[in-house]
Amino acid sequence: MEHRRLGASGLMVPALSFGAGTFGGRGPLFSEWGTTDSQEARRLVDICLDAGITMFDTADVYSAGASEEVLGKAVKGRREQVILSTKTGLPLGDRPGDAGSSRSCLITACEAALRRLGTDYLDLFQLHAFDAGTPVEEVLATLDTLVQAGKVRYVGVSNFSGWQVMKSLAAAEKHGRPRYVSHQVYYSLIGRDYEWELMPLARDQGLGAIVWSPLGWGRLTGKIRRGAPLPPGSRLHRTADYGPPVADDHLYRVVDALEEVAEETGKAVPQIAINWLLQRPTVSSVIIGARDEQQLRQNLGAVGWSLAPEHLAKLEAASHRTAPYPYYPYERQEGFARLNPPVFATPR
């Protein structure tokens, strides 16, 4: 397993990491993702470690904390072999203090995550969403307290906009607080919005992308094809409204290209979709999930090889969409592009 530096930090992470969203199975959404219990989870962790996957990502909102509990039991006795990453900030209930990044919320969430995971430190503690109601100075001061106490080693964010990231980084520099080293983002062949603003920002500021849903919310598994109904076992029947939207014509254009590349390479469609991401700028790690051993082993086949230039070109042509203003001039007009080639010239 290739290891990469997480952004501009000293933390080395595997190119593939494992997402524990399928652990626990509580609630209408997460039970559709998976219902992996502690025994099954330990088996999946065993396979991951054998393959060199040492980073495991979860969140307090996943199955109302059950994901963290199951993951903690699965890694018990081998804490020093793994990198534990969790997230907080999304609503856990209806009370005023059940969401956000206030000092109270962050300290409470960190302590609860440590307890559920059965550890005394978190390798990576991430804000799951931007909290517009809490000053960034308060957020960063609280994270600094947790880092100084040895409870958190690195901090990151997830699902932030560009201005939200930059405001936070500027405040961290001004006040001498910990800088975010990572941005956990949605990025896939059918969802390339990350490239328009967040990728150039990450390149400029040294943020490593940790990619969630690399298969486009289950649409790039190889089971969804043009002119065919959704397969009976697909979770899209019940969860599509929760995930990133994609127009059918765009989806099928990408799927057609994936199938052509699959036929030419002998690789599976999801392996190709993940391998493409691993060759993109700023990507430090791609999170793979699995409800069972078979899915996990198939996703592991995404590493150890690289797509040929002609295959990359085919996939990028099929998946490309014109960027919105003010970004499209930089990729379409020579004068704009010449002003910012290091930042905006991302391969496609």
The distance from CA 21 to its chain's CA centroid, rounded to whole angstroms, is: 11
Beta bridge partners of 5: 12
The residue behind tokens 């520099």 is 173
CB 11 within 8 A of CB 5: yes
User: What tokens appear for 326 in the block?
Assistant: 């003010």
CA pseudo-torsion sign 136, 142, 147, 148: positive
Spatial distance between the Cα atoms of 182 and 50, rounded to a whole number of angstroms: 25
Spatial distance between the Cα atoms of 130 and 55, rounded to a whole number of angstroms: 24
CB 198 within 8 A of CB 173: no
User: What tokens appear for 42 in the block?
Assistant: 């330990």
The residue behind tokens 């607080």 is 177
Spatial distance between the Cα atoms of 223 and 246, rounded to a whole number of angstroms: 16
Question: Would you name the residues annotated as active-site residues?
Answer: 62
